[in-house]
Copies of this chain bind each other. A is one copy, B any other.
Amino acid sequence: MADRLERLADLAVHGANVQPGQVLMVTGEIGNEDVARAVAAAGYRRGAKFVDVDYFDPYVKRARIENADPGSLDFVPRWYGTRMVDHAEDEGARVTLATLTAPNLMDDLDKTLVGRDMLPRVKELTKIVGDRSTNWCIVPAPHRAWATIVYPDLDEDAAYERLWDELEHVLRLDDGDAANAWDERMAVLRDAAERLTARSFDAIELRGPGTELSIGMLPTHRWWAADFTRADGLRHLPNLPTEEVFTTPDPLRTNGHVTSTKPLALRDGTIVRGLRVRFENGVAVEIDAAENGDTLKSLLDIDEGARRLGELALVDRQGRIGPLGTVFYNTLLDENAASHIALGAGFKFLVDEEVVPRVNESGQHIDFMIGSNEVEVDGITADGERIPVLRGGDWQI
Protein backbone atom coordinates (compact mmCIF):
# COMPACT_ATOMS: atom_id res chain seq x y z
CA MET A 1 0.00 0.00 0.00
CA ALA A 2 2.85 2.41 0.76
CA ASP A 3 4.13 1.84 -2.80
CA ARG A 4 0.68 2.44 -4.26
CA LEU A 5 0.28 5.66 -2.31
CA GLU A 6 3.73 6.84 -3.34
CA ARG A 7 3.09 6.14 -7.05
CA LEU A 8 -0.23 7.99 -6.92
CA ALA A 9 1.35 10.89 -5.02
CA ASP A 10 4.30 11.10 -7.40
CA LEU A 11 1.90 11.29 -10.34
CA ALA A 12 -0.14 14.01 -8.60
CA VAL A 13 2.88 16.28 -8.08
CA HIS A 14 4.08 15.45 -11.61
CA GLY A 15 0.66 16.49 -12.95
CA ALA A 16 0.75 19.71 -10.94
CA ASN A 17 4.41 20.09 -11.95
CA VAL A 18 5.38 21.29 -8.48
CA GLN A 19 8.46 23.53 -8.66
CA PRO A 20 11.23 23.94 -6.07
CA GLY A 21 10.37 26.71 -3.63
CA GLN A 22 6.62 26.63 -4.30
CA VAL A 23 3.88 26.39 -1.71
CA LEU A 24 1.82 23.31 -2.57
CA MET A 25 -1.79 23.40 -1.43
CA VAL A 26 -3.36 19.95 -1.00
CA THR A 27 -7.12 19.80 -0.62
CA GLY A 28 -8.93 16.65 0.44
CA GLU A 29 -11.47 15.39 2.92
CA ILE A 30 -11.24 13.76 6.31
CA GLY A 31 -10.61 10.17 5.28
CA ASN A 32 -7.99 11.09 2.66
CA GLU A 33 -5.15 11.30 5.17
CA ASP A 34 -3.24 8.44 3.53
CA VAL A 35 -3.16 10.07 0.10
CA ALA A 36 -2.74 13.63 1.42
CA ARG A 37 0.29 12.65 3.50
CA ALA A 38 1.86 10.83 0.56
CA VAL A 39 1.29 13.87 -1.69
CA ALA A 40 2.81 16.13 0.98
CA ALA A 41 5.93 13.95 1.14
CA ALA A 42 6.11 13.82 -2.68
CA GLY A 43 5.73 17.61 -2.84
CA TYR A 44 8.54 18.13 -0.37
CA ARG A 45 10.73 15.67 -2.29
CA ARG A 46 10.21 17.85 -5.40
CA GLY A 47 11.41 20.85 -3.39
CA ALA A 48 8.17 22.47 -2.20
CA LYS A 49 8.85 25.13 0.42
CA PHE A 50 5.65 24.27 2.24
CA VAL A 51 2.75 21.89 1.77
CA ASP A 52 -0.51 23.30 3.07
CA VAL A 53 -2.88 20.36 3.54
CA ASP A 54 -6.50 21.32 4.11
CA TYR A 55 -8.95 18.64 5.17
CA PHE A 56 -12.62 19.40 4.57
CA ASP A 57 -14.99 17.68 6.99
CA PRO A 58 -18.39 16.95 5.44
CA TYR A 59 -19.75 16.01 8.87
CA VAL A 60 -19.12 19.56 10.08
CA LYS A 61 -21.00 20.79 7.00
CA ARG A 62 -23.86 18.51 7.97
CA ALA A 63 -23.82 19.91 11.53
CA ARG A 64 -24.09 23.39 10.00
CA ILE A 65 -27.04 22.55 7.79
CA GLU A 66 -28.81 20.84 10.69
CA ASN A 67 -28.24 23.58 13.26
CA ALA A 68 -27.36 26.93 11.71
CA ASP A 69 -29.67 29.78 10.80
CA PRO A 70 -30.72 28.94 7.19
CA GLY A 71 -30.14 32.58 6.25
CA SER A 72 -26.45 32.23 7.13
CA LEU A 73 -25.72 29.16 4.99
CA ASP A 74 -24.12 31.10 2.13
CA PHE A 75 -21.72 32.90 4.49
CA VAL A 76 -18.05 32.15 3.92
CA PRO A 77 -15.36 33.66 6.19
CA ARG A 78 -13.29 36.13 4.17
CA TRP A 79 -10.04 34.30 5.00
CA TYR A 80 -11.20 31.32 2.93
CA GLY A 81 -10.91 33.51 -0.16
CA THR A 82 -7.81 35.38 1.02
CA ARG A 83 -5.98 32.10 1.37
CA MET A 84 -6.67 31.11 -2.23
CA VAL A 85 -5.96 34.59 -3.62
CA ASP A 86 -2.68 34.99 -1.69
CA HIS A 87 -1.55 31.52 -2.73
CA ALA A 88 -2.33 32.31 -6.37
CA GLU A 89 -0.56 35.67 -6.11
CA ASP A 90 2.50 33.72 -4.95
CA GLU A 91 2.09 31.46 -8.02
CA GLY A 92 1.66 28.37 -5.88
CA ALA A 93 0.86 24.80 -6.84
CA ARG A 94 -2.33 22.89 -6.03
CA VAL A 95 -3.26 19.23 -5.79
CA THR A 96 -6.92 18.48 -5.22
CA LEU A 97 -8.07 15.04 -4.17
CA ALA A 98 -11.30 13.93 -5.86
CA THR A 99 -13.04 11.52 -3.56
CA LEU A 100 -16.29 10.43 -1.94
CA THR A 101 -15.77 9.85 1.77
CA ALA A 102 -19.32 10.23 3.02
CA PRO A 103 -21.83 9.12 0.38
CA ASN A 104 -25.48 9.78 1.23
CA LEU A 105 -24.47 11.88 4.24
CA MET A 106 -26.83 14.70 3.30
CA ASP A 107 -29.65 12.55 1.92
CA ASP A 108 -32.08 13.13 4.81
CA LEU A 109 -31.53 16.90 4.92
CA ASP A 110 -33.53 19.65 3.24
CA LYS A 111 -31.92 19.77 -0.21
CA THR A 112 -32.47 23.48 -0.73
CA LEU A 113 -30.51 24.13 2.48
CA VAL A 114 -27.74 21.73 1.41
CA GLY A 115 -27.38 23.64 -1.84
CA ARG A 116 -26.86 27.01 -0.15
CA ASP A 117 -23.56 25.98 1.46
CA MET A 118 -21.15 25.67 -1.46
CA LEU A 119 -18.06 24.84 0.60
CA PRO A 120 -15.45 23.51 0.15
CA ARG A 121 -15.70 25.37 -3.18
CA VAL A 122 -14.84 29.07 -2.79
CA LYS A 123 -15.90 31.58 -5.42
CA GLU A 124 -12.37 33.01 -5.73
CA LEU A 125 -11.22 29.78 -7.40
CA THR A 126 -13.04 30.53 -10.64
CA LYS A 127 -10.95 33.64 -11.30
CA ILE A 128 -7.74 31.91 -10.20
CA VAL A 129 -8.30 29.11 -12.72
CA GLY A 130 -9.21 31.65 -15.39
CA ASP A 131 -6.11 33.76 -14.67
CA ARG A 132 -3.94 30.64 -14.99
CA SER A 133 -1.80 31.83 -12.08
CA THR A 134 -1.39 28.43 -10.40
CA ASN A 135 -0.16 25.03 -11.62
CA TRP A 136 -2.51 22.34 -10.42
CA CYS A 137 -3.77 18.81 -10.75
CA ILE A 138 -6.86 16.96 -9.57
CA VAL A 139 -6.34 13.25 -8.88
CA PRO A 140 -8.69 10.67 -7.39
CA ALA A 141 -8.10 9.54 -3.79
CA PRO A 142 -9.48 6.04 -3.12
CA HIS A 143 -11.65 5.67 -0.02
CA ARG A 144 -13.45 2.64 1.39
CA ALA A 145 -16.86 4.34 1.54
CA TRP A 146 -16.48 5.46 -2.07
CA ALA A 147 -15.51 1.93 -3.13
CA THR A 148 -18.64 0.37 -1.63
CA ILE A 149 -20.81 2.78 -3.63
CA VAL A 150 -19.00 2.06 -6.89
CA TYR A 151 -19.03 -1.73 -6.44
CA PRO A 152 -22.11 -2.46 -4.30
CA ASP A 153 -21.90 -6.20 -4.98
CA LEU A 154 -18.42 -6.58 -3.45
CA ASP A 155 -17.55 -6.62 0.23
CA GLU A 156 -15.67 -3.57 1.48
CA ASP A 157 -12.16 -5.00 1.24
CA ALA A 158 -12.74 -6.33 -2.27
CA ALA A 159 -14.44 -3.12 -3.37
CA TYR A 160 -11.55 -1.01 -2.06
CA GLU A 161 -9.01 -3.25 -3.82
CA ARG A 162 -11.03 -3.04 -7.05
CA LEU A 163 -11.24 0.75 -6.82
CA TRP A 164 -7.47 0.98 -6.40
CA ASP A 165 -6.97 -1.41 -9.34
CA GLU A 166 -9.29 0.50 -11.67
CA LEU A 167 -7.91 3.86 -10.64
CA GLU A 168 -4.35 2.68 -11.20
CA HIS A 169 -5.44 1.48 -14.65
CA VAL A 170 -7.12 4.72 -15.70
CA LEU A 171 -4.27 6.74 -14.17
CA ARG A 172 -1.85 4.65 -16.29
CA LEU A 173 0.01 3.80 -13.09
CA ASP A 174 0.15 0.18 -14.31
CA ASP A 175 2.20 1.30 -17.30
CA GLY A 176 5.65 1.41 -15.76
CA ASP A 177 6.43 5.03 -16.55
CA ALA A 178 3.12 6.80 -15.94
CA ALA A 179 4.55 10.24 -16.72
CA ASN A 180 5.63 9.04 -20.15
CA ALA A 181 2.30 7.26 -20.76
CA TRP A 182 0.50 10.54 -20.10
CA ASP A 183 2.82 12.44 -22.42
CA GLU A 184 1.82 10.03 -25.22
CA ARG A 185 -1.92 10.21 -24.50
CA MET A 186 -1.85 14.01 -24.22
CA ALA A 187 -0.22 14.24 -27.66
CA VAL A 188 -3.21 12.34 -29.14
CA LEU A 189 -5.76 14.54 -27.35
CA ARG A 190 -3.99 17.78 -28.28
CA ASP A 191 -4.11 16.65 -31.91
CA ALA A 192 -7.89 16.02 -31.76
CA ALA A 193 -8.39 19.43 -30.18
CA GLU A 194 -6.36 21.12 -32.93
CA ARG A 195 -8.46 19.49 -35.66
CA LEU A 196 -11.70 20.65 -33.99
CA THR A 197 -10.36 24.16 -33.52
CA ALA A 198 -9.37 24.34 -37.18
CA ARG A 199 -13.00 23.65 -38.20
CA SER A 200 -14.31 26.83 -36.46
CA PHE A 201 -17.80 25.35 -36.16
CA ASP A 202 -20.71 27.72 -35.57
CA ALA A 203 -22.54 25.13 -33.46
CA ILE A 204 -22.27 21.57 -32.18
CA GLU A 205 -25.36 19.35 -32.24
CA LEU A 206 -25.92 16.19 -30.19
CA ARG A 207 -28.61 13.62 -30.97
CA GLY A 208 -29.32 10.45 -29.03
CA PRO A 209 -31.83 8.83 -26.65
CA GLY A 210 -33.52 11.71 -24.80
CA THR A 211 -31.15 14.25 -26.29
CA GLU A 212 -31.55 16.75 -29.10
CA LEU A 213 -29.34 19.69 -28.33
CA SER A 214 -27.77 22.50 -30.33
CA ILE A 215 -24.91 24.37 -28.66
CA GLY A 216 -23.78 27.62 -30.27
CA MET A 217 -20.04 28.21 -30.48
CA LEU A 218 -18.30 31.55 -29.87
CA PRO A 219 -16.19 33.22 -32.57
CA THR A 220 -12.47 32.39 -32.18
CA HIS A 221 -13.26 29.49 -29.83
CA ARG A 222 -10.52 26.95 -29.31
CA TRP A 223 -10.67 23.31 -28.26
CA TRP A 224 -8.13 22.18 -25.70
CA ALA A 225 -7.03 19.00 -24.10
CA ALA A 226 -6.40 19.13 -20.33
CA ASP A 227 -2.76 19.96 -20.96
CA PHE A 228 -2.35 23.47 -19.61
CA THR A 229 0.26 26.09 -19.10
CA ARG A 230 0.19 28.77 -16.46
CA ALA A 231 0.09 32.33 -17.81
CA ASP A 232 3.89 32.35 -17.52
CA GLY A 233 4.24 29.17 -19.57
CA LEU A 234 4.72 26.52 -16.87
CA ARG A 235 3.06 23.30 -18.09
CA HIS A 236 0.74 21.24 -15.85
CA LEU A 237 -1.84 18.51 -16.31
CA PRO A 238 -4.90 19.77 -14.43
CA ASN A 239 -6.87 16.52 -14.47
CA LEU A 240 -5.47 13.03 -14.11
CA PRO A 241 -6.96 10.95 -15.55
CA THR A 242 -8.20 12.96 -18.53
CA GLU A 243 -9.59 11.81 -21.88
CA GLU A 244 -11.50 14.90 -23.04
CA VAL A 245 -11.19 17.76 -25.50
CA PHE A 246 -13.25 20.80 -24.55
CA THR A 247 -14.22 24.33 -25.41
CA THR A 248 -16.29 27.14 -23.93
CA PRO A 249 -19.61 27.65 -25.77
CA ASP A 250 -21.78 30.71 -26.42
CA PRO A 251 -23.90 31.07 -23.24
CA LEU A 252 -26.76 32.59 -25.28
CA ARG A 253 -27.23 29.99 -28.02
CA THR A 254 -27.98 26.58 -26.52
CA ASN A 255 -31.41 25.18 -27.39
CA GLY A 256 -33.11 21.82 -27.05
CA HIS A 257 -33.13 19.10 -24.44
CA VAL A 258 -30.56 16.72 -23.07
CA THR A 259 -30.64 13.63 -20.87
CA SER A 260 -27.68 12.73 -18.68
CA THR A 261 -26.03 9.42 -19.52
CA LYS A 262 -24.33 8.92 -16.13
CA PRO A 263 -25.27 9.82 -12.54
CA LEU A 264 -23.87 13.12 -11.31
CA ALA A 265 -22.23 13.11 -7.87
CA LEU A 266 -22.25 16.59 -6.32
CA ARG A 267 -19.40 17.70 -4.08
CA ASP A 268 -21.41 17.01 -0.92
CA GLY A 269 -21.96 13.39 -1.92
CA THR A 270 -25.50 13.91 -3.17
CA ILE A 271 -26.07 11.83 -6.30
CA VAL A 272 -28.32 13.26 -9.01
CA ARG A 273 -29.80 10.55 -11.23
CA GLY A 274 -31.90 10.70 -14.38
CA LEU A 275 -31.19 14.35 -15.03
CA ARG A 276 -33.09 16.02 -17.90
CA VAL A 277 -32.49 19.64 -18.86
CA ARG A 278 -34.23 21.82 -21.45
CA PHE A 279 -32.47 24.93 -22.74
CA GLU A 280 -33.99 28.03 -24.32
CA ASN A 281 -31.63 30.64 -25.74
CA GLY A 282 -28.84 29.44 -23.50
CA VAL A 283 -30.79 29.16 -20.26
CA ALA A 284 -31.57 25.83 -18.56
CA VAL A 285 -35.28 26.64 -18.21
CA GLU A 286 -36.35 23.17 -17.10
CA ILE A 287 -34.34 20.89 -14.82
CA ASP A 288 -35.80 17.57 -13.73
CA ALA A 289 -34.20 14.54 -12.19
CA ALA A 290 -35.32 11.17 -10.89
CA GLU A 291 -33.31 11.85 -7.72
CA ASN A 292 -32.02 15.01 -6.03
CA GLY A 293 -32.92 17.45 -8.79
CA ASP A 294 -33.82 20.02 -6.13
CA THR A 295 -30.31 19.97 -4.69
CA LEU A 296 -28.86 20.60 -8.12
CA LYS A 297 -31.37 23.37 -8.77
CA SER A 298 -30.50 25.10 -5.48
CA LEU A 299 -26.81 25.04 -6.49
CA LEU A 300 -27.82 26.85 -9.68
CA ASP A 301 -29.63 29.63 -7.83
CA ILE A 302 -26.44 31.41 -6.82
CA ASP A 303 -26.20 33.60 -9.90
CA GLU A 304 -27.59 34.13 -13.38
CA GLY A 305 -24.72 32.37 -15.13
CA ALA A 306 -25.18 29.11 -13.22
CA ARG A 307 -28.04 28.13 -15.56
CA ARG A 308 -26.03 28.74 -18.73
CA LEU A 309 -23.31 26.62 -20.27
CA GLY A 310 -19.62 27.22 -19.59
CA GLU A 311 -18.18 24.08 -21.14
CA LEU A 312 -18.71 21.49 -23.86
CA ALA A 313 -16.36 18.51 -23.85
CA LEU A 314 -16.13 15.60 -26.25
CA VAL A 315 -14.78 12.23 -25.26
CA ASP A 316 -13.93 9.51 -27.74
CA ARG A 317 -14.07 5.82 -26.91
CA GLN A 318 -10.29 5.35 -27.00
CA GLY A 319 -9.71 6.41 -23.38
CA ARG A 320 -9.34 3.99 -20.51
CA ILE A 321 -12.38 5.02 -18.47
CA GLY A 322 -15.27 4.44 -20.86
CA PRO A 323 -14.38 0.79 -21.64
CA LEU A 324 -14.45 -0.15 -17.93
CA GLY A 325 -18.19 0.52 -17.83
CA THR A 326 -17.78 1.59 -14.21
CA VAL A 327 -19.82 4.48 -12.81
CA PHE A 328 -17.44 6.13 -10.35
CA TYR A 329 -19.96 8.68 -9.03
CA ASN A 330 -17.17 11.19 -9.40
CA THR A 331 -17.04 13.89 -12.06
CA LEU A 332 -13.28 13.74 -12.61
CA LEU A 333 -13.61 10.13 -13.71
CA ASP A 334 -17.10 9.92 -15.14
CA GLU A 335 -16.75 13.05 -17.27
CA ASN A 336 -13.82 11.39 -18.96
CA ALA A 337 -15.92 8.37 -19.84
CA ALA A 338 -18.38 10.42 -21.87
CA SER A 339 -18.97 13.71 -23.63
CA HIS A 340 -20.31 16.30 -21.19
CA ILE A 341 -21.44 19.86 -20.65
CA ALA A 342 -21.00 22.12 -17.63
CA LEU A 343 -23.43 24.65 -16.23
CA GLY A 344 -21.70 27.73 -14.89
CA ALA A 345 -18.31 29.32 -15.35
CA GLY A 346 -16.73 29.18 -18.79
CA PHE A 347 -13.07 29.38 -19.78
CA LYS A 348 -11.93 32.82 -20.92
CA PHE A 349 -8.61 31.53 -22.20
CA LEU A 350 -10.40 29.54 -24.92
CA VAL A 351 -11.43 32.60 -26.97
CA ASP A 352 -9.62 35.67 -28.30
CA GLU A 353 -9.55 38.71 -26.08
CA GLU A 354 -12.34 40.63 -27.85
CA VAL A 355 -14.69 37.66 -27.28
CA VAL A 356 -13.84 37.21 -23.58
CA PRO A 357 -16.80 39.35 -22.40
CA ARG A 358 -19.14 36.83 -24.04
CA VAL A 359 -17.82 33.84 -22.05
CA ASN A 360 -20.24 32.69 -19.34
CA GLU A 361 -19.58 33.98 -15.82
CA SER A 362 -20.69 32.22 -12.67
CA GLY A 363 -19.49 31.14 -9.24
CA GLN A 364 -20.62 27.64 -10.15
CA HIS A 365 -19.30 24.96 -12.50
CA ILE A 366 -21.11 21.64 -12.58
CA ASP A 367 -20.28 19.05 -15.23
CA PHE A 368 -22.75 16.39 -16.26
CA MET A 369 -22.39 13.58 -18.71
CA ILE A 370 -24.50 13.60 -21.88
CA GLY A 371 -22.45 11.45 -24.23
CA SER A 372 -22.41 7.78 -25.08
CA ASN A 373 -21.57 5.71 -28.09
CA GLU A 374 -25.25 6.12 -29.05
CA VAL A 375 -25.07 9.90 -29.10
CA GLU A 376 -24.18 11.36 -32.48
CA VAL A 377 -22.21 14.59 -32.53
CA ASP A 378 -22.19 16.93 -35.54
CA GLY A 379 -20.48 20.21 -36.21
CA ILE A 380 -22.47 22.91 -38.03
CA THR A 381 -20.42 25.32 -40.10
CA ALA A 382 -21.17 29.03 -40.56
CA ASP A 383 -22.67 28.06 -43.94
CA GLY A 384 -25.03 25.61 -42.27
CA GLU A 385 -23.17 22.54 -43.46
CA ARG A 386 -23.46 19.54 -41.12
CA ILE A 387 -20.16 17.69 -40.50
CA PRO A 388 -20.14 14.41 -38.51
CA VAL A 389 -17.80 14.71 -35.53
CA LEU A 390 -18.43 11.59 -33.43
CA ARG A 391 -20.22 8.39 -34.46
CA GLY A 392 -20.25 5.43 -32.11
CA GLY A 393 -17.63 7.22 -30.05
CA ASP A 394 -15.18 7.46 -32.93
CA TRP A 395 -13.86 10.69 -34.39
CA GLN A 396 -15.15 11.43 -37.93
CA ILE A 397 -12.93 14.45 -38.55
Chain A positions near chain B (C-beta within 8 angstroms): 23, 30, 33, 36-37, 40-41, 44-45, 47-53, 55, 57, 59-60, 63-64, 66-69, 72, 75-79, 82-83, 86-87
For the complex, give the distance between the alpha carbons of A63 and B48 in Å: 12
Give the number of times this chain occurs in the complex, counting copies. Answer: 2
Chain B nearest Cβ from A66, distance in angstroms: 7
Asked whether, in the complex, the Cβ of B60 is within 8 Å of the Cβ of A36, the reply is yes
- Contacting A49 at CB < 8 Å: which of B44, B48, B68, B82? B68
Q: Measured between C-beta atoms, what is the minimum distance from A392 to chain B in Å?
A: 47
B40→A60 contact, CB < 8 A: yes
Q: How far is the CA of A60 from the CA of B36 in the complex (A)?
A: 8
A75, B57: Cβ atoms under 8 Å? no
What chain B residues lie within 8 Å of A69 (beta carbons)? 47, 49
Compute how far the CA of A48 lies from the CA of B75 in the bound complex, rounded to whole angstroms. Answer: 11
A394 to chain B, nearest CB (A): 45
User: What is the CB-to-nearest-CB distance from A1 to chain B, in angstroms, rounded to a whole number?
Assistant: 15
Contact residues in B for A49 (Cβ distance below 8 Å): 68-69, 72, 75
For the complex, give the distance between the alpha carbons of A47 and B75 in Å: 14
Residues on the B chain within 8 Å of A77, using CB: 23, 50, 52, 86-87
What residues of B have a CB within 8 angstroms of the CB of A86 in the complex? 77-79, 82
Across the interface, name the chain B residue whose C-beta is closest to A38: B63
Asked, given contacts A50-B77, A78-B86, A79-B82, whether A33 binds B30 with beta carbons under 8 Å apart, the answer is yes
Minimal Cβ-Cβ distance residue in B for A52: B77
Q: Which of A37, A52, A79 has the most CB of B within 10 A?
A: A79
Check if B79 sits within 8 Å of A57, measured CB to CB: no
Q: How far is the CA of A59 from the CA of B51 in the complex (A)?
A: 12
- A50 interface neighbour in B50, B66, B72, B87, Cβ under 8 Å: B72
State whether A55 touches B41 (Cβ < 8 A).
no
How far apart are the CA atoms of A266 and B60 in the complex, in Å?
28
Contact at B82–A63, with CB atoms within 8 Å? no
* Residues A40 and B63 in contact, CB atoms below 8 Å apart: yes
CB-CB under 8 A from A30, the residues of chain B are 30, 33, 55
20 A-B pairs in the complex with CB atoms less than 8 angstroms apart = A30-B30, A30-B33, A33-B57, A36-B57, A37-B63, A40-B60, A40-B63, A41-B66, A47-B69, A49-B68, A49-B72, A50-B68, A51-B63, A51-B64, A55-B57, A77-B87, A78-B86, A79-B79, A79-B82, A82-B86
User: Would A64 and B82 count as touching, CB distance under 8 A?
Assistant: no
Alpha-carbon distance between A77 and B52 when the two chains are bound, in angstroms: 8
Please, how many angstroms separate the alpha-carbon atoms of A48 and B23 in the complex? Answer: 32
